[in-house]
Structure 1
Amino acid sequence: MSSISDNLGSVTRRIQKATLQAGRELDSVSLLAVSKTRSAGELREAVAAGQRAFGENYVQEALDKMAGLSDLPGIDWHFIGPVQSNKTRQIAGAFSWVHSVDRLKIARRLSEQREPDLPLLNICLQVNINNEATKSGCRPDELPELVPEIGQLPGLSLRGLMAIPDPDQPEAELRASFRKLANTLKQLRQAFPEAGPLDTLSMGMSGDMEMAIAEGATWVRVGTAIFGERPQKS
Protein backbone atom coordinates (compact mmCIF):
# COMPACT_ATOMS: atom_id res chain seq x y z
CA MET A 1 0.00 0.00 0.00
CA SER A 2 1.48 3.34 -1.06
CA SER A 3 2.07 5.99 1.57
CA ILE A 4 0.72 9.51 1.32
CA SER A 5 4.28 10.68 0.73
CA ASP A 6 4.69 8.26 -2.18
CA ASN A 7 1.35 9.29 -3.63
CA LEU A 8 2.25 12.97 -3.40
CA GLY A 9 5.46 12.27 -5.28
CA SER A 10 3.54 10.44 -8.00
CA VAL A 11 0.96 13.23 -8.34
CA THR A 12 3.68 15.87 -8.45
CA ARG A 13 5.45 14.01 -11.26
CA ARG A 14 2.18 13.77 -13.20
CA ILE A 15 1.65 17.50 -12.83
CA GLN A 16 5.20 18.31 -13.90
CA LYS A 17 5.01 16.05 -16.93
CA ALA A 18 1.66 17.46 -18.04
CA THR A 19 2.87 21.03 -17.50
CA LEU A 20 5.96 20.51 -19.62
CA GLN A 21 3.97 18.75 -22.33
CA ALA A 22 1.66 21.78 -22.43
CA GLY A 23 4.66 24.04 -22.99
CA ARG A 24 4.14 25.81 -19.68
CA GLU A 25 6.45 26.85 -16.86
CA LEU A 26 6.78 24.23 -14.13
CA ASP A 27 5.66 26.62 -11.41
CA SER A 28 2.48 27.62 -13.27
CA VAL A 29 0.39 24.78 -11.79
CA SER A 30 -0.17 24.28 -8.06
CA LEU A 31 -1.47 21.22 -6.24
CA LEU A 32 -4.41 21.57 -3.87
CA ALA A 33 -4.74 18.44 -1.72
CA VAL A 34 -8.46 17.80 -1.22
CA SER A 35 -8.58 16.75 2.40
CA LYS A 36 -12.28 16.63 3.25
CA THR A 37 -13.12 13.67 5.51
CA ARG A 38 -9.40 12.99 6.00
CA SER A 39 -7.93 12.96 9.48
CA ALA A 40 -5.56 15.53 10.93
CA GLY A 41 -3.01 12.72 11.11
CA GLU A 42 -3.23 12.15 7.35
CA LEU A 43 -2.78 15.86 6.73
CA ARG A 44 0.17 15.90 9.09
CA GLU A 45 1.78 13.16 6.99
CA ALA A 46 1.15 15.17 3.82
CA VAL A 47 2.68 18.29 5.39
CA ALA A 48 5.75 16.27 6.37
CA ALA A 49 6.06 15.29 2.71
CA GLY A 50 6.01 18.94 1.64
CA GLN A 51 2.34 19.65 0.88
CA ARG A 52 1.08 23.00 2.15
CA ALA A 53 -2.24 23.75 0.41
CA PHE A 54 -5.35 21.84 1.52
CA GLY A 55 -8.93 22.05 0.28
CA GLU A 56 -11.84 21.53 2.67
CA ASN A 57 -15.59 21.27 2.01
CA TYR A 58 -17.07 21.34 5.51
CA VAL A 59 -16.48 24.34 7.78
CA GLN A 60 -16.56 22.72 11.21
CA GLU A 61 -14.46 19.77 10.11
CA ALA A 62 -11.89 22.19 8.70
CA LEU A 63 -11.82 24.33 11.84
CA ASP A 64 -11.20 21.23 13.94
CA LYS A 65 -8.25 20.28 11.72
CA MET A 66 -6.85 23.81 11.85
CA ALA A 67 -6.88 23.62 15.64
CA GLY A 68 -5.29 20.16 15.60
CA LEU A 69 -2.52 21.27 13.25
CA SER A 70 -1.90 24.71 14.72
CA ASP A 71 1.66 23.71 15.61
CA LEU A 72 2.51 23.39 11.91
CA PRO A 73 3.36 26.73 10.28
CA GLY A 74 2.60 27.70 6.73
CA ILE A 75 -0.51 25.63 5.94
CA ASP A 76 -2.66 27.30 3.28
CA TRP A 77 -6.38 26.55 3.77
CA HIS A 78 -8.77 26.68 0.81
CA PHE A 79 -12.55 26.33 1.07
CA ILE A 80 -13.90 24.43 -1.94
CA GLY A 81 -17.41 23.36 -0.90
CA PRO A 82 -20.76 25.10 -1.31
CA VAL A 83 -20.78 28.31 0.75
CA GLN A 84 -23.80 28.68 3.03
CA SER A 85 -24.75 32.18 4.15
CA ASN A 86 -24.63 31.20 7.83
CA LYS A 87 -21.03 29.99 7.45
CA THR A 88 -19.49 32.99 5.71
CA ARG A 89 -18.15 34.61 8.89
CA GLN A 90 -16.21 31.48 9.84
CA ILE A 91 -14.93 31.04 6.28
CA ALA A 92 -13.91 34.69 6.01
CA GLY A 93 -11.95 34.42 9.22
CA ALA A 94 -10.16 31.13 8.74
CA PHE A 95 -9.36 30.56 5.07
CA SER A 96 -7.02 32.21 2.59
CA TRP A 97 -8.92 31.06 -0.52
CA VAL A 98 -12.55 30.33 -1.37
CA HIS A 99 -12.94 28.54 -4.71
CA SER A 100 -16.72 28.21 -4.64
CA VAL A 101 -18.35 31.65 -4.61
CA ASP A 102 -21.40 31.42 -6.85
CA ARG A 103 -23.42 34.59 -6.19
CA LEU A 104 -23.04 38.23 -5.25
CA LYS A 105 -24.71 37.81 -1.85
CA ILE A 106 -22.02 35.38 -0.71
CA ALA A 107 -19.19 37.58 -2.00
CA ARG A 108 -20.64 40.60 -0.17
CA ARG A 109 -20.88 38.68 3.10
CA LEU A 110 -17.29 37.44 2.80
CA SER A 111 -16.16 40.98 2.05
CA GLU A 112 -18.01 42.46 5.03
CA GLN A 113 -16.82 39.72 7.40
CA ARG A 114 -13.14 39.60 6.38
CA GLU A 115 -11.21 41.33 9.16
CA PRO A 116 -9.25 44.32 7.82
CA ASP A 117 -6.02 43.18 9.46
CA LEU A 118 -6.07 39.94 7.43
CA PRO A 119 -4.66 39.65 3.90
CA LEU A 120 -7.16 39.91 1.06
CA LEU A 121 -9.31 36.78 0.77
CA ASN A 122 -8.62 35.15 -2.60
CA ILE A 123 -11.81 34.02 -4.29
CA CYS A 124 -12.79 32.17 -7.43
CA LEU A 125 -16.24 32.19 -8.95
CA GLN A 126 -17.63 28.69 -9.35
CA VAL A 127 -19.10 28.21 -12.81
CA ASN A 128 -21.64 25.54 -13.68
CA ILE A 129 -19.87 25.04 -16.98
CA ASN A 130 -22.16 22.25 -18.23
CA ASN A 131 -25.40 23.75 -16.86
CA GLU A 132 -26.07 20.68 -14.69
CA ALA A 133 -29.27 20.93 -12.67
CA THR A 134 -27.75 19.29 -9.59
CA LYS A 135 -24.48 21.24 -9.50
CA SER A 136 -23.64 24.52 -7.78
CA GLY A 137 -22.22 27.48 -9.64
CA CYS A 138 -23.27 30.50 -11.61
CA ARG A 139 -24.07 30.31 -15.31
CA PRO A 140 -21.37 31.51 -17.69
CA ASP A 141 -23.70 34.22 -18.98
CA GLU A 142 -23.99 35.67 -15.45
CA LEU A 143 -20.25 36.37 -15.18
CA PRO A 144 -20.13 39.71 -17.06
CA GLU A 145 -22.48 41.15 -14.43
CA LEU A 146 -20.90 39.45 -11.40
CA VAL A 147 -17.22 40.07 -12.14
CA PRO A 148 -17.14 43.89 -12.04
CA GLU A 149 -19.37 44.02 -8.95
CA ILE A 150 -17.41 41.43 -6.98
CA GLY A 151 -14.10 42.83 -8.20
CA GLN A 152 -14.69 46.11 -6.37
CA LEU A 153 -15.59 44.60 -2.98
CA PRO A 154 -13.10 45.42 -0.21
CA GLY A 155 -11.22 42.63 1.49
CA LEU A 156 -11.41 40.31 -1.52
CA SER A 157 -9.11 39.56 -4.43
CA LEU A 158 -11.00 38.11 -7.39
CA ARG A 159 -8.53 35.57 -8.70
CA GLY A 160 -10.47 33.63 -11.33
CA LEU A 161 -12.83 30.78 -12.02
CA MET A 162 -13.47 27.28 -10.72
CA ALA A 163 -15.48 24.48 -12.29
CA ILE A 164 -16.23 20.80 -11.79
CA PRO A 165 -17.20 19.60 -15.27
CA ASP A 166 -19.37 16.53 -15.61
CA PRO A 167 -16.82 13.67 -15.34
CA ASP A 168 -19.08 11.32 -17.28
CA GLN A 169 -18.76 13.32 -20.49
CA PRO A 170 -16.85 11.79 -23.38
CA GLU A 171 -13.20 12.85 -23.23
CA ALA A 172 -13.52 15.31 -26.12
CA GLU A 173 -16.45 17.06 -24.40
CA LEU A 174 -14.65 17.14 -21.06
CA ARG A 175 -11.65 18.78 -22.70
CA ALA A 176 -13.99 21.25 -24.39
CA SER A 177 -15.46 22.13 -20.97
CA PHE A 178 -12.00 22.93 -19.60
CA ARG A 179 -11.22 24.97 -22.71
CA LYS A 180 -14.50 26.86 -22.39
CA LEU A 181 -13.65 27.86 -18.81
CA ALA A 182 -10.18 28.99 -19.87
CA ASN A 183 -11.55 31.05 -22.76
CA THR A 184 -14.17 32.58 -20.49
CA LEU A 185 -11.49 33.71 -18.04
CA LYS A 186 -9.45 35.22 -20.87
CA GLN A 187 -12.48 37.17 -22.08
CA LEU A 188 -13.25 38.44 -18.58
CA ARG A 189 -9.66 39.53 -18.03
CA GLN A 190 -9.78 41.57 -21.24
CA ALA A 191 -13.21 43.05 -20.51
CA PHE A 192 -12.67 43.86 -16.81
CA PRO A 193 -8.94 44.51 -16.20
CA GLU A 194 -9.75 46.45 -13.03
CA ALA A 195 -11.75 43.61 -11.43
CA GLY A 196 -8.78 41.73 -10.02
CA PRO A 197 -5.85 39.56 -11.05
CA LEU A 198 -8.13 37.03 -12.82
CA ASP A 199 -5.12 34.76 -13.13
CA THR A 200 -6.51 31.53 -11.72
CA LEU A 201 -8.24 28.48 -13.18
CA SER A 202 -9.17 25.94 -10.51
CA MET A 203 -10.04 22.82 -12.50
CA GLY A 204 -8.96 19.21 -12.83
CA MET A 205 -8.99 16.36 -10.34
CA SER A 206 -7.32 12.97 -9.86
CA GLY A 207 -8.69 11.45 -13.06
CA ASP A 208 -8.43 14.38 -15.44
CA MET A 209 -5.70 16.70 -14.16
CA GLU A 210 -3.53 16.25 -17.25
CA MET A 211 -6.36 17.34 -19.53
CA ALA A 212 -7.09 20.35 -17.32
CA ILE A 213 -3.43 21.37 -17.25
CA ALA A 214 -3.26 21.16 -21.04
CA GLU A 215 -6.15 23.63 -21.17
CA GLY A 216 -4.67 26.08 -18.65
CA ALA A 217 -5.42 24.95 -15.07
CA THR A 218 -3.40 26.77 -12.42
CA TRP A 219 -4.79 24.82 -9.42
CA VAL A 220 -5.61 21.13 -9.68
CA ARG A 221 -7.71 19.72 -6.83
CA VAL A 222 -6.58 16.18 -6.01
CA GLY A 223 -7.83 13.95 -3.23
CA THR A 224 -8.09 10.27 -4.09
CA ALA A 225 -4.71 10.06 -5.84
CA ILE A 226 -3.06 11.39 -2.67
CA PHE A 227 -5.05 9.91 0.19
CA GLY A 228 -6.65 6.87 -1.47
CA GLU A 229 -10.32 6.01 -1.77
CA ARG A 230 -12.56 7.30 0.98
CA PRO A 231 -14.02 4.61 3.21
CA GLN A 232 -17.63 3.80 2.41
CA LYS A 233 -20.16 5.18 4.87
CA SER A 234 -21.90 2.49 6.88
Structure 2
Amino acid sequence: MTITDNLRIIGERIRAAEQRYGREPNSVKLIAVSKHQPLTAIQEALQTQQYAFGENYVQEMQEKALALALNDSCIEWHFIGPIQTNKTRPIAELATWVHSIDRLKVAQRLNDQRPSQLAPLQVCIQVNLSEEASKSGVAFYEAEALAHQIKTLDRLQLRGLMAIPAPSKDVAVQRQVFRRLRELKDQLNQQSFKLDTLSMGMTDDMEAAIAEGATQVRIGTAIFGARNY
Protein backbone atom coordinates (compact mmCIF):
# COMPACT_ATOMS: atom_id res chain seq x y z
CA MET A 1 0.00 0.00 0.00
CA THR A 2 1.29 3.44 -0.89
CA ILE A 3 0.91 6.63 1.13
CA THR A 4 -1.63 7.74 -1.47
CA ASP A 5 -3.64 4.55 -0.88
CA ASN A 6 -3.44 4.97 2.88
CA LEU A 7 -4.62 8.57 2.73
CA ARG A 8 -7.59 7.48 0.63
CA ILE A 9 -8.50 4.75 3.12
CA ILE A 10 -8.20 7.08 6.12
CA GLY A 11 -10.28 9.67 4.29
CA GLU A 12 -12.96 7.06 3.67
CA ARG A 13 -12.95 6.10 7.37
CA ILE A 14 -13.36 9.73 8.38
CA ARG A 15 -16.21 10.38 5.96
CA ALA A 16 -17.95 7.13 6.98
CA ALA A 17 -17.71 8.08 10.68
CA GLU A 18 -19.06 11.55 9.94
CA GLN A 19 -22.09 10.00 8.27
CA ARG A 20 -22.57 7.31 10.93
CA TYR A 21 -22.57 9.78 13.81
CA GLY A 22 -24.54 12.58 12.19
CA ARG A 23 -21.64 14.94 11.69
CA GLU A 24 -21.56 17.49 8.89
CA PRO A 25 -19.74 16.18 5.78
CA ASN A 26 -16.06 17.25 5.74
CA SER A 27 -16.30 18.66 9.26
CA VAL A 28 -13.32 16.58 10.46
CA LYS A 29 -9.84 17.60 9.35
CA LEU A 30 -6.99 15.11 8.94
CA ILE A 31 -3.61 16.01 10.44
CA ALA A 32 -0.98 13.69 8.95
CA VAL A 33 1.54 13.07 11.72
CA SER A 34 4.87 13.11 9.89
CA LYS A 35 7.35 12.91 12.78
CA HIS A 36 10.36 10.70 11.96
CA GLN A 37 9.16 10.40 8.36
CA PRO A 38 11.36 11.36 5.40
CA LEU A 39 10.73 14.31 3.15
CA THR A 40 9.77 11.98 0.32
CA ALA A 41 6.83 10.73 2.38
CA ILE A 42 5.56 14.26 2.94
CA GLN A 43 6.05 15.07 -0.74
CA GLU A 44 3.95 12.07 -1.74
CA ALA A 45 1.21 13.16 0.66
CA LEU A 46 1.32 16.67 -0.81
CA GLN A 47 0.53 15.22 -4.23
CA THR A 48 -2.82 14.05 -2.83
CA GLN A 49 -3.54 17.59 -1.54
CA GLN A 50 -2.82 16.67 2.07
CA TYR A 51 -1.37 19.91 3.42
CA ALA A 52 -1.68 19.67 7.22
CA PHE A 53 1.22 17.89 8.94
CA GLY A 54 1.83 17.25 12.61
CA GLU A 55 5.32 17.36 14.11
CA ASN A 56 6.50 16.60 17.65
CA TYR A 57 10.07 17.86 17.58
CA VAL A 58 11.20 21.43 16.97
CA GLN A 59 14.42 20.72 15.08
CA GLU A 60 12.75 18.19 12.82
CA MET A 61 9.96 20.63 11.98
CA GLN A 62 12.53 23.33 11.25
CA GLU A 63 14.50 21.11 8.89
CA LYS A 64 11.41 19.97 7.02
CA ALA A 65 9.95 23.46 6.78
CA LEU A 66 13.20 24.77 5.33
CA ALA A 67 13.52 21.91 2.85
CA LEU A 68 9.91 22.22 1.69
CA ALA A 69 9.59 26.01 1.76
CA LEU A 70 9.93 26.31 -2.00
CA ASN A 71 8.04 23.07 -2.61
CA ASP A 72 4.62 24.17 -1.48
CA SER A 73 3.53 27.35 0.26
CA CYS A 74 0.25 25.72 1.30
CA ILE A 75 1.81 23.48 3.95
CA GLU A 76 0.29 23.92 7.38
CA TRP A 77 2.59 22.85 10.22
CA HIS A 78 0.84 21.67 13.40
CA PHE A 79 3.09 21.34 16.42
CA ILE A 80 1.66 18.56 18.57
CA GLY A 81 4.49 17.59 20.93
CA PRO A 82 5.57 18.71 24.40
CA ILE A 83 6.99 22.24 24.37
CA GLN A 84 10.19 23.28 26.10
CA THR A 85 10.28 26.96 27.01
CA ASN A 86 13.73 27.41 25.42
CA LYS A 87 12.44 26.16 22.06
CA THR A 88 9.33 28.24 21.59
CA ARG A 89 10.72 30.72 19.05
CA PRO A 90 10.94 28.32 16.06
CA ILE A 91 7.44 27.08 16.84
CA ALA A 92 6.11 30.64 16.99
CA GLU A 93 7.81 31.48 13.69
CA LEU A 94 6.96 28.33 11.69
CA ALA A 95 3.79 26.72 12.95
CA THR A 96 0.25 27.59 11.95
CA TRP A 97 -1.22 25.59 14.82
CA VAL A 98 0.04 24.52 18.24
CA HIS A 99 -2.02 21.78 19.88
CA SER A 100 -0.01 21.20 23.04
CA ILE A 101 -0.05 24.29 25.26
CA ASP A 102 -0.22 23.19 28.88
CA ARG A 103 1.08 26.15 30.90
CA LEU A 104 1.01 29.92 30.86
CA LYS A 105 4.77 30.45 30.47
CA VAL A 106 4.79 28.57 27.17
CA ALA A 107 1.77 30.51 25.93
CA GLN A 108 3.37 33.84 26.84
CA ARG A 109 6.61 33.01 25.05
CA LEU A 110 4.77 31.87 21.92
CA ASN A 111 2.73 35.07 21.99
CA ASP A 112 5.78 37.31 22.42
CA GLN A 113 7.77 35.52 19.72
CA ARG A 114 5.03 35.29 17.08
CA PRO A 115 6.14 37.53 14.16
CA SER A 116 3.88 40.53 13.74
CA GLN A 117 3.55 39.98 9.98
CA LEU A 118 1.97 36.57 10.53
CA ALA A 119 -1.59 35.84 11.53
CA PRO A 120 -2.12 34.99 15.20
CA LEU A 121 -0.99 31.50 16.13
CA GLN A 122 -3.92 29.09 16.32
CA VAL A 123 -3.66 27.16 19.57
CA CYS A 124 -5.26 24.41 21.62
CA ILE A 125 -4.84 23.60 25.29
CA GLN A 126 -3.66 20.05 25.87
CA VAL A 127 -5.65 18.41 28.65
CA ASN A 128 -4.33 15.33 30.46
CA LEU A 129 -7.67 13.52 30.60
CA SER A 130 -6.27 10.22 31.86
CA GLU A 131 -4.09 11.92 34.49
CA GLU A 132 -1.03 9.99 33.33
CA ALA A 133 2.25 11.17 34.86
CA SER A 134 4.07 10.31 31.63
CA LYS A 135 1.84 12.55 29.50
CA SER A 136 1.93 16.29 28.99
CA GLY A 137 -1.17 18.37 29.48
CA VAL A 138 -2.85 20.55 32.04
CA ALA A 139 -5.01 18.85 34.65
CA PHE A 140 -8.71 18.81 33.75
CA TYR A 141 -9.66 21.10 36.65
CA GLU A 142 -6.94 23.63 35.72
CA ALA A 143 -7.86 23.99 32.05
CA GLU A 144 -10.44 26.72 32.56
CA ALA A 145 -8.00 29.03 34.36
CA LEU A 146 -5.39 28.54 31.64
CA ALA A 147 -7.98 29.29 28.96
CA HIS A 148 -8.77 32.64 30.61
CA GLN A 149 -5.06 33.48 30.74
CA ILE A 150 -4.47 32.61 27.07
CA LYS A 151 -7.48 34.68 26.06
CA THR A 152 -5.58 37.84 27.07
CA LEU A 153 -2.67 37.15 24.66
CA ASP A 154 -3.28 38.98 21.38
CA ARG A 155 -0.87 37.01 19.18
CA LEU A 156 -2.56 33.72 20.05
CA GLN A 157 -6.05 32.66 19.05
CA LEU A 158 -7.41 29.99 21.37
CA ARG A 159 -9.34 27.58 19.16
CA GLY A 160 -9.98 24.58 21.37
CA LEU A 161 -8.70 21.59 23.29
CA MET A 162 -6.46 18.60 22.60
CA ALA A 163 -6.02 15.27 24.36
CA ILE A 164 -4.11 12.00 24.06
CA PRO A 165 -6.03 9.53 26.25
CA ALA A 166 -4.62 6.31 27.61
CA PRO A 167 -5.00 3.53 25.00
CA SER A 168 -8.11 1.38 25.22
CA LYS A 169 -9.71 -1.12 22.86
CA ASP A 170 -13.10 -0.59 24.45
CA VAL A 171 -15.07 1.83 22.27
CA ALA A 172 -17.34 2.76 25.16
CA VAL A 173 -14.30 3.74 27.24
CA GLN A 174 -12.83 5.68 24.33
CA ARG A 175 -16.05 7.62 23.88
CA GLN A 176 -16.39 8.31 27.60
CA VAL A 177 -12.95 9.93 27.74
CA PHE A 178 -13.48 11.98 24.60
CA ARG A 179 -16.88 13.07 25.89
CA ARG A 180 -15.19 14.73 28.87
CA LEU A 181 -13.15 16.91 26.51
CA ARG A 182 -16.24 17.85 24.51
CA GLU A 183 -18.11 18.73 27.70
CA LEU A 184 -15.20 20.89 28.82
CA LYS A 185 -15.29 22.75 25.50
CA ASP A 186 -19.04 23.27 25.89
CA GLN A 187 -18.51 24.52 29.44
CA LEU A 188 -15.93 27.05 28.29
CA ASN A 189 -18.16 28.22 25.46
CA GLN A 190 -20.83 29.07 28.02
CA GLN A 191 -18.32 31.56 29.44
CA SER A 192 -17.85 33.75 26.36
CA PHE A 193 -15.20 31.58 24.72
CA LYS A 194 -15.76 30.70 21.06
CA LEU A 195 -13.95 27.38 20.81
CA ASP A 196 -14.54 25.40 17.64
CA THR A 197 -11.81 22.75 17.77
CA LEU A 198 -11.39 19.36 19.42
CA SER A 199 -8.08 17.80 18.44
CA MET A 200 -8.56 14.19 19.46
CA GLY A 201 -8.46 10.74 17.93
CA MET A 202 -5.71 8.66 16.37
CA THR A 203 -5.63 5.52 14.24
CA ASP A 204 -7.19 3.16 16.78
CA ASP A 205 -9.80 5.47 18.26
CA MET A 206 -10.65 8.09 15.69
CA GLU A 207 -14.20 6.82 15.10
CA ALA A 208 -14.96 7.19 18.81
CA ALA A 209 -13.42 10.67 18.74
CA ILE A 210 -15.51 11.69 15.73
CA ALA A 211 -18.62 10.37 17.45
CA GLU A 212 -17.89 12.70 20.37
CA GLY A 213 -17.18 15.79 18.30
CA ALA A 214 -13.57 15.69 17.10
CA THR A 215 -12.83 18.31 14.47
CA GLN A 216 -9.19 17.30 13.91
CA VAL A 217 -7.79 13.76 14.04
CA ARG A 218 -4.05 13.07 14.15
CA ILE A 219 -3.02 10.02 12.13
CA GLY A 220 0.56 8.86 11.57
CA THR A 221 1.48 5.20 11.18
CA ALA A 222 -1.72 4.31 9.29
CA ILE A 223 -0.65 6.82 6.63
CA PHE A 224 3.13 6.61 6.53
CA GLY A 225 3.86 3.16 7.97
CA ALA A 226 6.30 2.40 10.75
CA ARG A 227 8.55 5.25 11.81
CA ASN A 228 12.31 5.09 11.32
CA TYR A 229 13.80 6.06 14.69
Q: TM-score, normalised by structure 1?
A: 0.95
Does the CA contact (< 8 Å) of 2:128 and 2:139 recur in 1? Answer: yes
- Identity across the alignment (%): 52
Question: Equivalents in 2 of 1:206, 1:190: separation in Å?
Answer: 31
Q: Which residue of 1 aligns with 2:185?
A: 185
Question: Equivalents in 1 of 2:207, 2:170: separation in Å?
Answer: 15
Q: Which residue of 2 aligns with 1:212?
A: 209
Q: Which residue of 1 aligns with 2:220?
A: 223
Helix, strand or coil at the partner of 1:167: coil
Question: Equivalents in 2 of 1:4, 1:174: separation in Å?
Answer: 27
Helix, strand or coil at the partner of 1:174: helix
The CA RMSD measured in Å over matched residues stands at 1.1
Question: Equivalents in 2 of 1:97, 1:3: separation in Å?
Answer: 27
Helix, strand or coil at the partner of 2:125: strand
Q: Deviations over 1:149-180 (max 9, x none)?
A: 11110100000000000013643222100011
How do residues 1-234 of structure 1 correspond to structure 2 at under 5 angstroms?
Answer: 2-71=1-70, 72-168=72-168, 170-191=170-191, 193=192, 195=193, 197-231=194-228, 233=229
Question: Equivalents in 2 of 1:169, 1:74: separation in Å?
Answer: 36
In the comparison of the two structures, how many residue pairs are matched?
Answer: 228
Q: 1:186 to 1:127 in 2, by over 3 A?
A: same
TM-superposed CA distance for 1:27, in Å, is: 2.1
2:97 is matched by which residue type in structure 1?
A: W
2:56 is matched by which residue type in structure 1?
A: N
Helix, strand or coil at the partner of 2:22: coil
Q: TM-score, normalised by structure 2?
A: 0.97
Task: Point out where structure 1 has 5 or more consecutive residues left out of the alignment.
Answer: none
Does the CA contact (< 8 Å) of 2:203 and 2:219 recur in 1? Answer: yes
Does the CA contact (< 8 Å) of 2:174 and 2:209 recur in 1? Answer: no
2:207 is matched by which residue type in structure 1?
A: E
Helix, strand or coil at the partner of 1:109: helix
Helix, strand or coil at the partner of 2:83: coil
Helix, strand or coil at the partner of 1:128: coil
Task: Point out where structure 2 has 5 or more consecutive residues left out of the alignment.
Answer: none
TM-superposed CA distance for 1:68, in Å, is: 1.2
1:121 is matched by which residue type in structure 2?
A: L
Q: Deviations over 1:38-57 (max 9, x none)?
A: 01111000000110000000
TM-superposed CA distance for 1:73, in Å, is: 2.1
Question: Equivalents in 2 of 1:106, 1:73: separation in Å?
Answer: 27
Question: Equivalents in 2 of 1:133, 1:171: separation in Å?
Answer: 23
Answer with 166-175 or 35-44: which moved more. 166-175
Q: 1:184 to 1:26 in 2, by over 3 A?
A: same
Question: Equivalents in 2 of 1:75, 1:160: separation in Å?
Answer: 21
TM-superposed CA distance for 1:147, in Å, is: 1.0
